Amino acid sequence: MTAARSCVVVGAGLTGATVAWQLARGGFKVRVFEQADVVGGHIRSEWLRGVPYEPHGAHIFHTCDSEVWRLVSEHTAFVPYEHRVTIRVRSNQLSWPLQRSELAQLEEWPRIERELAVLPRNPDATNFATYCRTLMGDTLYGLCVRNYTMKQWGRDPESLSASVAANRVELRNDGHRGLFRDPYQGWPERGYAHLVESLLADAEVHLGQPVTHSDLADLALPGEPVVITSALDDFYTCELGPLEWRGVRLESQFMPDVTLAQPSMVVNEPDLAVPWTRTIETKWALEKLHATRGTVIMREYPGASAKHYPVPDSAGSNRSLQAAYEAKLASYERNPLRAAGRLATYRYINMDQAVRQGLDTARHIVESH
Ligand SMILES: Cc1cc2nc3c(=O)[nH]c(=O)nc-3n(C[C@H](O)[C@H](O)[C@H](O)COP(=O)(O)OP(=O)(O)OC[C@H]3O[C@@H](n4cnc5c(N)ncnc54)[C@H](O)[C@@H]3O)c2cc1C
């Protein structure tokens, strides 16, 4: 094997698998090292007595990137699914994002209506809390967003960047109840593991192999490109300190006699007295299963040690630490090292962005070798 036409990939999640697939198309021999005993990373879905469930959280594929959609659809069949989320406020089930027309059912409606009438033209982006309060008023923010955010992030919303809200919080008035507006949306009929396995078909995959920077001399030839999709604080064994992450823990419950247990795939729970943040019923994604008996509910609890969400603190200190790790990566001379994916870039990215990053990273390597 020559260094010029081979490559090492760390991590067999969606990003690493896409890198491997695109590099193989470019004539590269690809070796993938994955610390877990299975491929798929965070998006891996499982089946229990014919019912799909997602041990790491709900995943809906949605994109406006036609190349990405074509690629994933070539690797596995997607069924159409428009994702719906509901939020439970006491006994009221509201659409999420909130729809103005549904708010009159809340007993606080007269106050909410007065607050909506005097909102500024643009939200105040000082921090998460100011953004939401000036987007929907204090009452709606208190009922639907503040406590959910406290549970989800384990910190005061004022200490979070407004960018978190800008991507997730909306007040709609258009009747569109799907969470996403992308032209391509769906769920893979055979689950996400099938997609990732298909992308990895031409790569040599080593499972149960955690990799850090000190393994590079053994795993990669001098000059051989290495794509890292694991977290950089792990890769550098926390040399510069740990990056801050927020994780969730999911608990599953099989209900043998129930067809569908809740009104939508995801139900948000903003009440502080409820210890979980949301419940997930992936079965909603596959309409052909709706009438069959048996379903799986996953309760998502906040505050686990897993690396799920990078924490965009309003002071920006976590991004500064990530930048310092990226500088270390760029200064390594023996191999060209590239970071891609949600962990290595310390950014929340959707699956379509993971695929896009994988494609672009691989193409850059093919062009420069
Ligand atoms: C709760 C939650 C819900 C989400 N829902 C959606 C959704 O509905 N729609 C959507 O588009 N996106 C969603 N996402 C985002 C989606 O999960 C990511 O886009 C996707 O997982 C990115 O894939 P990745 O390969 O970059 O990361 P990962 O899937 O995390 O893959 C990284 C891989 O690297 C391996 N690894 C880690 N460290 C090492 C090491 N030291 N050595 C070797 N291997 C290592 C891991 O085991 C893993 O297999 C969600 C994310 C979260 C957290």
Q: Is the pLDDT of residue 2 over 70?
A: no
Return the ligand 1 atom nearest residue 57 CA: 1
What is the predicted pLDDT for the residue at 323? 97
Using the structure block, give the residue that is written with the tokens 């596995």. 76
Q: Is the pLDDT of residue 207 over 60?
A: yes
- Note the pLDDT tens digit of each residue in 129-174: 999 999 999 999 999 999 999 999 888 999 999 998 987 899 999 9
Distance from C-alpha of 103 to C-alpha of 31, rounded to nearest angstrom: 54
Cα 11 to ligand 1 centroid, rounded to whole Å: 9
Cα 293 to ligand 1 centroid, rounded to whole Å: 31
What is the predicted pLDDT for the residue at 102? 97
Ligand 1, residues 19, 56, 151, 343: which to mutate, most atoms within 8 A of Cβ? 343
- Note the pLDDT tens digit of each residue in 250-303: 999 999 999 999 999 999 999 999 999 999 999 999 999 999 999 999 999 998
Q: Is the pLDDT of residue 113 over 70?
A: yes
Q: How confident is the model at residue 312 (pLDDT cuts 50, 70, 90)?
A: confident
CB of 247 closer than 6 A to ligand 1?
A: no
With a pLDDT cut of 70, the percent of the chain lying above it is 99
Mean pLDDT calculated for residue range 196-220: 97
Cα 30 to ligand 1 centroid, rounded to whole Å: 20
Ligand 1, residues 15, 59, 215: which to mutate, most atoms within 8 A of Cβ? 59
- Other residues' Cβ atoms within 10 Å of the Cβ of residue 190: 15
Q: Is the pLDDT of residue 314 over 80?
A: no
Q: Is the pLDDT of residue 10 over 90?
A: yes
Distance from C-alpha of 349 to C-alpha of 355, rounded to nearest angstrom: 10
CB of 85 closer than 6 A to ligand 1?
A: no
Q: Is the pLDDT of residue 1 over 70?
A: no
Report the largest interatomic distance among the alpha carbons of the chain, rounded to a whole angstrom: 72
Cα 257 to ligand 1 centroid, rounded to whole Å: 33
Return the ligand 1 atom nearest residue 41 CA: 49
Mean pLDDT of the chain: 95
Closest CA to 147 of 4, 274, 290, 5: 274
Ligand 1, atom 40, residue with closest C-alpha: 210
Q: How confident is the model at residue 4 (pLDDT cuts 50, 70, 90)?
A: low
Ligand 1, atom 23, residue with closest C-alpha: 14
At the top level of CATH, which class does the domain 3-45+191-244+311-368 belong to?
A: alpha beta
CA distances from 309 to 35, 60, 63, 174, 306 (A): 20, 17, 20, 30, 9
CB of 20 closer than 6 A to ligand 1?
A: no
Mean pLDDT calculated for residue range 215-220: 96
Q: Which two tokens stand for residue 238?
A: 């926390």
Cα 42 to ligand 1 centroid, rounded to whole Å: 4
CB of 152 closer than 6 A to ligand 1?
A: no
User: What are the extents of the domains in the chain?
Assistant: 3-45+191-244+311-368, 46-84+178-189+249-309, 106-170
Q: Is the pLDDT of residue 3 over 90?
A: no
- Number of residues assigned to the chain: 369
